[in-house]
């Protein structure tokens, strides 16, 4: 059977999928890295929707492990799911559980909004300093368990900005077969 998980080297803002996932900051107000790239390429409507979501939630920040959805402005995707990854400390501050929740909640939200395809960046592995191999293992495991339960037709794309990250994902995926 054709794999529903693919790994590509590239820029997530260019992906023509139903949903792209943003590694957002708690404020939901945009920032650097993939977050900055998504807001720049998508235009101001994404930030306006993020602000509206914040206001609905009493102007409180979005906690790590949570995910919210907006439309995608000028991007080729239909929606952006903004999830807040954990900041890596020593691995004993619930970082793995929070990272797992980012993937699970994003996948859930995508399916609830009718998505048939979703692209993920390597959440938390940039400014938030999560060790890359551990983060990739969590990402692959969570996606696999989600797909194996009942979301057989969802296509999941891991978009790696760095070539080494793509190699890492490919190695881990191969190793699990
Ligand atoms: N497409 C795909 N991946 C990208 C892109 C892109 N255009 N740009 C960067 N990456 P980071 P975090 C990769 O720092 O660690 C931000 O300032 C990058 O190589 O974007 O979750 C937010 O506002 C790395 O592998 O996210 C938050 O404050 C991965 O995306 C904070 O950083 C994640 O790097 C979130 O930190």
Q: What is the pLDDT of residues 66-94, one digit of tens each?
A: 999 999 999 999 999 999 999 999 999 99
Mutate to test the pocket of ligand 1, among 120, 126, 136 (most ligand atoms within 8 A of CB): 126
Q: What is the pLDDT at residue 153?
A: 87
The beta strands (E) that lie in 25-170 are given as 67-71, 79-84, 117-120, 155-160
Q: Is the CB of 159 under 6 A from ligand 1?
A: yes
What mean pLDDT is reported for the chain?
95
Query: CATH for 4-176, among 3.40.220.10, 1.10.260.40, 3.40.50.2300, 1.10.3720.10?
Result: 3.40.220.10
Mutate to test the pocket of ligand 1, among 38, 121, 130, 169 (most ligand atoms within 8 A of CB): 121
Q: What is the pLDDT at residue 164?
A: 97
Q: Is 35 a catalytic residue?
A: yes
Give CA 54 to chain center in angstroms.
19
Confidence category of residue 177, pLDDT binned at 50, 70, 90: very low
Condensed to tens digits (0 to 9), the pLDDT of residues 20-65 reads 999 999 999 999 999 999 999 999 999 999 999 999 999 999 999 9
> From ligand 1's centre to the CA of 1, what distance in Å?
32
Confidence category of residue 104, pLDDT binned at 50, 70, 90: very high
Confidence category of residue 3, pLDDT binned at 50, 70, 90: low
Q: Is the CB of 101 under 6 A from ligand 1?
A: no
Which atom of ligand 1 is the closest one to the Cα of 12? 1
Q: Where are the domains of the chain?
A: 4-176
Tell me which of 11, 18, 35, 59 is the catalytic residue. Answer: 35
Query: Which residue, 56, 54, 156, is CA-closest to 106?
Result: 156
Q: What is the pLDDT at residue 8?
A: 98
């Amino acid at each position: 059977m054709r794999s529903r998980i693919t790994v590509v080297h590239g820029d997530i803002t260019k992906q023509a999928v139903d949903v792209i996932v943003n590694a957002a900051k708690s404020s939901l107000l945009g920032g650097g890295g993939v977050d900055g790239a998504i807001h720049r390429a998508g235009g101001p409507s994404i930030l306006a929707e993020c602000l509206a979501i914040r206001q609905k939630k009493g102007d409180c920040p979005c906690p790590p492990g949570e995910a919210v959805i907006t439309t995608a402005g000028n991007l080729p995707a239909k929606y952006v799911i903004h999830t807040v990854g954990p900041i890596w400390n020593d691995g004993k501050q619930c970082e793995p559980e929070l990272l797992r929740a980012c993937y699970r909640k994003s996948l859930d939200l995508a399916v609830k909004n009718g998505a048939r395809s979703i692209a993920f960046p390597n959440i938390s592995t940039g400014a938030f300093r999560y060790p890359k191999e551990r983060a990739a293992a969590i990402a692959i495991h969570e996606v696999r368990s989600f797909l194996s339960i009942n979301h057989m037709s969802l296509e999941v794309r891991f978009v790696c900005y760095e070539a080494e990250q793509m190699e890492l994902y490919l190695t881990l995926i191969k190793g699990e077969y």
